[in-house]
Structure 1
Amino acid sequence: MLVHYGGKLDIFLGELMDLTVRVAMLESSPDNYIKLDFELLRIELREFEALVSQLKDSLNSSSPMLDSLYAEIHNMTLIVNQLETLDKNNLEVIRIEFAKLQRKLEECQKEQDIVKPDIGNCNHTGIMSVSKPTLFQMNAHLNPGYQYGGWGKDSKPVRGHESMHWYGAYSSPTVYEFYLYSNYDKLTQRSSFTHHGLPQGYEGTGNNYIVHGNTVYYQAANPFRMSKLNLTSSVYSHRQVTKASESFTYTYSPNQYLDFSADEKGLWVMYATDEAKGKIVVAKIDEKSFGIENEWTTSAFKPLVGNAFMVCGVMYATRPGDLKTEEIYYSYDTETGEEKYMSIPLQKFQEKYTNLHYNPTDQRLYMYNNGYYVSYSVRFNKE
């Protein structure tokens, strides 16, 4: 296991993500192709190759993962050296190769974990820390103007669709379409997707939607209500939440009145009420009836909160730190009513984000960060 090299791998990952973003931005702006510095790419790839070589030499035993990563970097160096023209096809080759490298690096990072995540269980006392981002990539439209949206995995996948990923993004805080990808690689390579457009009268607003049980849960725009779309049957269902107020939204998210979340305990929706004077109320959703089965009022004042999410029946709220940092600062346990204050940093690359949710199938956080996909692994305090 790569237990002692996490720091080097984190640095490696940050540099690799920078290269990935540069290539994505070049693809989205053809006029900038000439600025792609192939010699700089060669230098940086040689540095990556040297780093992995050092890691290999430092291990007492062989590491198939590092051997594979080393081979990928060497192959990409050959590809870059063979490129002779600055056309879109070559940029596409580079983008795909960077995606492969990034995926292998993520696998290396997973390999270094001493304790494997206990998926599906809640034998811990809460979040201890959040990793550095392990994915940072511009949205599938390659459009930085698509600042609103979300992405992630199905939090309760149906058989045969365990690897399905979803994505939606827009230039305004509206919701009108989603893209489904059969797996992670298809998402990062922007290929082989299924498109679902919301028909007139079913559009949404705000961006804290999720996919749970092959169903999209989102906030309908007019009239204001919670809605769901079954991705298999294309059947819509709606329920009004009479207590939910349209006067309070998150710091970064216009019109975000209903925030859907899923965890090990099931499906939830969070909203503020006038009765609670803008504080967040956590509500448990009965999935069969699509109704509210219980509610808990927290002390988190929604307009000061960046976003919120559920883990093992506990709501966690974030607030802005500096331009590159968010802070998980508050939790509310729906089982015990216990409130806690904490300071867990969450690194981000852009100041604003519009979707943050936890997925219990892999114990990761998914963020849509001002046009970019970002994800994090969550580590827990063990009992």
Structure 2
Amino acid sequence: MSLCSIMKLGAIIPLCALFTLTQQTASLDKCACELFSSEKAFPHDKLETAQNNASDCNSNATPQKTFELESLLLGLERRLPQLVEDVEVLEKENDGELYGALSLHVIENELFEIMQLFDKLNSTAQAHQDLADEATQQLQDLRSDMQDLEKFDTMQVVKRQQANQRLKRDLDQCKNGIHPTSRPTGPPKGACPHGQFLNITGPRVYTAGEYPGSYKYGAWGRDPKPEAGKENWHWLVMLTASNRYSNYVRLYSTLSSLIAGVSVPGNVQIHASNPTTNTIQGPNVVLYGGALYYNCYNKDAICRFNLTTKSVTTVTLPKGTRYNSKGNFCHLDECYLYTDLDLATDESGVWVIYTTTQDFGNLVLSKVEKGENPELGQTWRTSVYKQSVTNTFMACGVMYATRYVDKNTEEIFYSFDSATGRENFNVGIFINKMSPNIQSLNYSPVDQMLHAYCDSYMVSYKVLFE
């Protein structure tokens, strides 16, 4: 054998140490060998199956499903004491002949909704138990599969990676112990007395009132800061002229009176003509502290009508504010006329949501400072386009925006926190609608209810907080 051949074989044999040498052909200028692996082939299909199973397990067991169960439990926890409270309130009401029928009707509705909540809770709990059993079995199978696959890690790469991860974790803990990092800035604690906004349940009230099928646009609710003796009063504003204008607010002494359509003390008129200077334009109206706040007729301004003195004061909005149905709430099929200005109430007072030409149609939020001569206070600008929104409301200083999903569902998809300036485009709370359109939506901090006016029907929902 030539010296060249010997040197070449000396170079090849170490490379073939893990293999069985089955044949060798020597020649003057080259050599060749046929090699067979002594290791088993890696099962790539088994690894792919394990990855798919892990992905399926992650997609099935999500935090949202746990949140759904927690929301139902929270809803039940709130509804039972509320039922007791409603019974006590109804026992004290004195509506004459209305009392017996309406009180029984309200209690019957409450019990029916609580039973529905129980049924949904039971079905959800069973579904979660089935999911937990399935996930447990999947995890056991995955653990067994991964233990089998680790046998192919002859170089112990995975074990070294795990050791490195443990070392890195220990180093991070050591660093954090010596130089603790500051916590991220969050919303001020105690900003909302009820906790975090979690969900919407209901409807709790669904009534056509005393004008069934009439006056498609309007608003209704309670005064968050009522005068003494008027704590149970409810108010109603219907746009009685062309679904655009109104000149009075209608008052009811109790919720039962509103449902039955018996208005006492009746109407409080802003002006004898409709429409005219400083009367109501558009459905987004609120009552606060015995005064009605609304979009003044044919003005880019807020009117404040004092129900006691019958006086009107105005708040001028910034130059460029869209009004006269040029900055409406919309969805793909329809825009809600004369919804340029949306007045809202919460625990802190009155707000106005609007848009301007210089903000390119995005929502603008301003605080309305209370008083006989109200003024526009601090203003915030958002990045959500108004005509992609169907309605807004305030709760604990946070603005929430809704969008049309279909004729049965509305979604609260967006929030803007005035305390932190943070925006969230993925709120994901759904409202079960009783009519396709919600012309006005406002939150009542008195009872944490959301009052909606839907195609001439009055609907209310319970807001669930943490």
Mapped pair 1:216 → 2:219 = no
| Cross-structure match for 2:328 | 249
Residues 216 and 454 in structure 2, CA contact (< 8 A), matched pair in contact too: yes
Partner of 1:154: 223
Q: Would you say 1:134 and 2:204 are equivalent positions?
A: yes
**Which deviates the most, 321-330 or 186-195?**
186-195
Change (3 A) 1:126 1:274: farther
C-alpha distance in structure 2 between counterparts of 1:266 and 1:359, whole Å = 11
Q: List per-residue Cα deviations over 1:71-90 (Å, max 9, x = no partner).
A: xxxxxxxxxxxxxxxxxxxx
Q: Give deviations 1:257-303, integer Å, cap 9, x for gaps.
A: 11111111221111011111111111011112411111001122111
State the Cα deviation string for residues 111-138 of structure 1 (Å, max 9, x = none): 8999xxxxx9714663211002011111
Deviation at 1:187, TM superposition (A): 1.2
- Answer whether contact 1:186 1:193 (CA < 8 A) is retained: no
Other-structure match for 2:138 = none
* 1:72 alignment counterpart: none
Contact 1:300 1:317 in 2 (8 A): no
CA separation of 1:364 and 1:109: change in aligned 2, threshold 3 A? farther
Q: 1-side partners of 2:293 and 2:210: how far apart?
A: 21
Query: How far apart are the structure 2 equivalents of 1:351 and 1:96?
Result: 32
**Pick from 318, 342, 350: which aligns with 1:259?**
342
Partner Cα distance (1:96, 1:334) in 2: 43
Structure 2 residue aligned with 1:233: 309
TM-score after normalising by structure 2: 0.58
Report what 1:103 is aligned to: 106
- Aligned counterparts of 1:198 and 1:337: Cα–Cα separation in 2: 37
On the 8 A contact 1:206/1:253 being kept in 2, the answer is: no
| TM-score of the superposed pair, with normalisation by structure 1 | 0.69
Q: Distance in 2 between matches of 1:145 and 1:300?
A: 33
What residue ranges of structure 1 are gaps of 5+ in the alignment?
Answer: 1-5, 11-63, 69-92, 115-119
Structure with the bigger RCO (C-alpha within 8 Å, sep 6+) is 1
| Contact kept? 2:450, 2:462, Cα under 8 Å | yes
Q: Which amino acid is the alignment partner of residue 249 of structure 2?
A: F
Task: Quote the residue 1:173 is aligned against.
Answer: 244
Q: Distance in 1 between matches of 2:350 and 2:266?
A: 24
Measure, in 2, the Cα distance between the counterparts of 1:176 and 1:277.
32
Determine helix, strand or coil for the equivalent of 1:337.
coil
Name the counterpart of 2:41. none
**How far apart, in 1, do the equivalents of 2:114 and 2:432 lie?**
22
Cα gap change, 1:323 to 1:111, in 2 (>3 Å): closer
1:347 aligned residue: 432
Deviations 1:9-38 (A, max 9, x none): 99xxxxxxxxxxxxxxxxxxxxxxxxxxxx
Query: 1:193: Cα distance to partner?
Result: 3.3
Instruction: Supply the AA of the counterpart residue of 1:217.
Output: Y
**Relative to 1, partners in 2 of residues 1:237 and 1:146: Cα closer, same or farther, differing over 3 Å?**
same
CA distance in 1, matches of 2:355, 2:234: 29
CA gap 1:263/1:110 in 2 versus in 1, 3 angstroms: farther
- Aligned counterparts of 1:96 and 1:319: Cα–Cα separation in 2: 38
Structure 1: distance between partners of 2:397 and 2:451:
18
Q: Distance in 1 between matches of 2:287 and 2:111?
A: 28
Report what 1:86 is aligned to. Answer: none
Indicate the SS of the match to 2:232. coil
- Taking a change above 3 Å as real, the CA distance of residues 96 and 352 of structure 1, as seen in their structure-2 partners, is farther
Partner secondary structure for residue 158 of structure 1 = coil
What SS does the aligned partner of 1:280 have?
strand
- Note the alpha carbon deviations across 1:125-162, whole angstroms, 9 max, x for none: 632110020111113222x1310111110111122111
**1:179-199, Cα deviation, whole Å (9 max, x unpaired):** 011111221122223212221
Percent of residue pairs bearing the same amino acid type: 30
Q: Which amino acid aligns with 2:329?
A: Y
CA contact (8 A) 2:315 2:376 kept: no
CA RMSD of aligned residues (A): 2.9
Cα distance change on mapping 1:284 and 1:110 into 2, 3 Å: farther
Distance 1:193 1:110, change over 3 A: farther
Runs of 4 or more above 4 Å deviation: 95-98, 106-114
When structure 1 is superposed on structure 2, of 201-210 and 368-377 the one drifting more is 201-210
Equivalent pair of 2:237/2:285 in contact (CA under 8 Å): no
What is the rounded CA distance, in whole Å, between the counterparts of 2:226 and 2:105 in structure 1? 25
What letter corresponds to residue 129 of structure 1 in structure 2? N
Which position in structure 2 is the counterpart of 1:19?
none
Aligned length: 290
More helix by share: 2
Q: How does 1:28-177 map to 2 (within 5 A)?
A: 99-105=102-108, 108=111, 122-123=192-193, 126-142=196-212, 144-171=213-240, 172-177=243-248
Question: Secondary structure at 1:321's aligned position in 2?
Answer: strand
Alpha-carbon offset, residue 170 of structure 1? 3.0
Q: Which residue does the alignment assign to 1:317?
A: 401
Q: 1:248, 1:278 within 8 Å by CA — same for their partners in 2?
A: yes
Matching residue of 1:183: 254
The 3-state SS of whatever aligns with 1:256 is coil
Whole-angstrom CA distance in 2 between matches of 1:298 and 1:102: 43
1:284 aligns with 2:363: no
